[in-house]
Amino acid sequence: MNQIFTFRTTSPSKISCQAVDVSPLRHVNQAIWLLCTGAREVAYEISIQWLNAWRMNCQCGKGSSNSYAIKKKDELERVAKSNR
């Protein structure tokens, strides 16, 4: 899996992006960080409507596609793929 890193070229005004390979430990650390960040952001938004919607998603088997961590991982992979 690739990840995007930005760097400055010889001219200070130009910033370039490049997809690079990263270690498996980095993937594990990033997954844990994304899960914790998503849980922290959602903790402030809990309401009765959200709780009912979450229960319905879990019963239908659609709960994982609404995960903050999975959405961010997919976004990072999409950006890395476009910068190859």
pLDDT tens sequence for the chain (84 residues):
667 766 666 677 777 777 777 788 888 898 899 999 888 877 766 666 677 777 777 665 544 566 788 788 888 888 888 887
Domain that holds residue 62: 2-82
Supply the pLDDT for residue 63: 46
Q: What is the number of structural domains in the chain?
A: 1
Among candidates 11, 84, 71, which has minimal Cα distance to 35? Answer: 71
What is the amino acid identity at position 46? I
Q: What's the predicted TM-score (pTM) here?
A: 0.44
Alpha helices in the chain (DSSP H): 24-43, 48-60, 68-82
